[in-house]
A and B are shown apart, each in its own frame.
Chain A
Amino acid sequence: MIRRLFAVLHARNLEFLRDRGTLLFTIALPIMIVIGMGFIFGGPGRPLFKVGVLAAQIDPASDPFLRERYVDFVPLADEAVALKKLTHQQIDLLVDVRAPVRYWVNTDSPKGYVIEKLLLAADSGALRQPVTGAAIRYVDWLFPGILGMNMMFSCLFGVGYVVLRYRKSGFLKRLHATPLTAFEFLSAQVLSRLGLILFVTAVLYMGIGTIIGFHNSGSLALLALLAVLGALSMIALGLTIAARFSSEELVGGLLNLLTWPMMLLSGIWFSLEGAPRWVNWVAHTLPLTHLLDGARAVMLDGAGIRQIAPNLLYLVVTALGFLAFGAWSFRWRID
């Protein structure tokens, strides 16, 4: 069985590596996107101080500091959320103007240092509570999303169209006349694509990470595990579409039907915090959402395996479920 699996795997790898156009495109597209994004979002931030205020809404009359000019005051009711924003330097200072006046400042933030002076000029008795944490730029937040999006396209379309092409050309029918089983064939396709995706993602991670100066807060091994499971789940999802059908139009349409919700709802471009409950529910049925949630938790917050265990579990279950369905519904030939 292993011998047959590797024969198909080796041939598929050769086929892919010699298809220069596809290979180039696979690597070039995400690099171009991220360089573009880095160029747009990675520049200097806006010259405005942003201060979080622990309150449901802000009343400038309650404290002289709230009347400072060139400062954007943002009401934040949840202290935990507000502190996380301060840690990531999404706000420069956090104040609680209810007596006694307290404030939190990120000692790693140069803007925090300046705005602290402004606050102390207005409220000299305010209690200082320091926090630390490096700034998270939008490009840092976007980085896992871009890697995930590239994986999604490569997983769904790479495997889906290859199997469809084999079926239409009659190559699958010829393989069916050998001792090769559907499971062996599908496993070889999954492994070939998985190897490719992991390689491309690793190259992108290192290359783009260097370009944008990204720092990973968590475990690289955990990130790799997440990438393997996420890719497996999405490749298997692509196989469920390609397992049976023989029409490019139908398969293309169905794959698009899968990619669009993931593009919009999985949190590639923007966070879904605050979105309606049903949107969140739909988003969390998509494997990419779990991959990105897990990846951001590891890369940005340094989360461990316990924190992302639900994401990992969801990816394992969906990978197995999709693969089983794909093998069950697999057709070697055009009916």
Chain B
Amino acid sequence: MKADGTRRPGRGNFPRHRWTARPRSESARIARQSLEDPAERTVSNPILEVRNLVKQYPTTTAVDGVSFEVPEGICFGILGPNGAGKTTTVEIMEGILPPTAGEVRYRAEPLGARFHEEAGILFQKTALQDFLTVRQCIALFRGLYAKGLDVDEVIRLCALEKLADRDSRKLSGGQQQRLLLAIALVNDPEVLFLDEPTTGLDPQARRNFWELMESIKARRKTIILTTHYMEEAELLCDEIVIMDRGRIIAQGPPRRLLREHFADVLLELPRQDFPERARSLPLKIIDASDRVEITTQDLEGTLRTLLAAEVPLTHLRVRPGNLEDLFLELTGSELRP
């Protein structure tokens, strides 16, 4: 069914988006803005509440007692490696997977017809109907909602104008994700679920997608984002939970989590430069796949200790901690994409 084609007052105020590469410095500015943007800005009631969620399968417990609240108007990140329970948690939140125990509430009510009308969803993997054009795919989903954006408006928002009459199967990975995002936005959702939206995209397509996300964030929509790209979470999320093995192991705004865990700086050394005997040194050592990381607040003292132990420092790197380091510190294992 085609959308009625009329414009609704008060809608369509998105900044016109252009799919041109931005200079690196500008992307960095976006990143800084995101990090500096106080997550505590939202003090309203939570739009979504997740309470003691458990999902058991015959052989595994995918989600094991997860609780959190999502304040309205923020980008909320769910981070963790594959198999951490992110997607299961999100699918229960989306109302398409029943939990074994616990509940999800939308605006203080159990998930119901209102939630389905007001939620936009982008799954990790979605096939669309064969033989339909981009516009017809969007029109199909527009027809499933009582209210929403005009089809042409969504096409413009997701920069699909030139692809509108193309068979949806003949799109590149990045174009396909933009179409799926358009479908997720077609009902002008109050809450938008994005499950690993940039997985498998090339760096340029990923950066384009992030820019699009920024324009959606600017409309103060609530976004639930699962990802295993730490850069993505740092750039976009106001608040995150980190999951591992079905449980939440850390929660809060990314900046605060980093501040709490990384008053330290990180020293990175290639694994082959780090002799076994040095492991007995009084240092906080974390093993990553190809390197050894040492966290410390006393950089000079640590360097002296390493020099005294005759550890080669030619390839030493010193940097502040990021979310990936946080995950390493919390779980003792590396993020597995």
Binding site for B on A (CB under 8 A): 3-4, 6-8, 10-12, 14-15, 18-19, 166, 169-171, 173-180, 332-333
Contacts and interface: CB of A to CB of B under 8 A. Distances in A.
A178 B119 CA distance: 8
Nearest to B167: A18
Interface string B135-178: 01001111111100000000000000000000000000000000
A58 to B, nearest CB: 64
B336 interface: no
Interface stretch (B61-69, B123-131, B325-333): B123-131
A114 B142 CA distance: 72
23 contacts: A4-B144, A7-B139, A7-B140, A7-B142, A7-B144, A8-B140, A8-B144, A14-B132, A15-B129, A19-B130, A170-B125, A170-B126, A170-B127, A171-B128, A173-B123, A174-B121, A174-B126, A177-B116, A177-B121, A178-B116, A180-B144, A332-B96, A333-B96
Contacts of A169: 127
Nearest to A7: B143
B129 A177 contact: no
Q: Which of A3, A18, A171, A179 has the most CB of B within 10 A?
A: A179
A279 B121 CA distance: 53
A99 B121 CA distance: 88
Contacts of A18: 131
Contacts of B190: none
Contacts of B126: 170-171, 173-174
B141 A178 contact: yes
Q: At the interface, is chain B mostly helix, strand, loop or mixed? A: loop
A67 to B, nearest CB: 70
A6 B2 CA distance: 10
Q: Is the interface of A mostly helix, strand, loop or mixed?
A: helix
A160 B14 CA distance: 42
B140 A11 contact: yes
B1 interface: yes
B96 A179 contact: no
B95 interface: yes
A318 to B, nearest CB: 29
Contacts of A180: 144
Given A6-B1, A173-B96, A332-B96, A179 B127 contact: no
B94 interface: yes
Nearest to B114: A179
B117 interface: yes
A-B pairs, 7 with minimum CB distance: A7-B143, A169-B127, A7-B1, A18-B131, A11-B140, A178-B144, A177-B121
Nearest to B115: A179
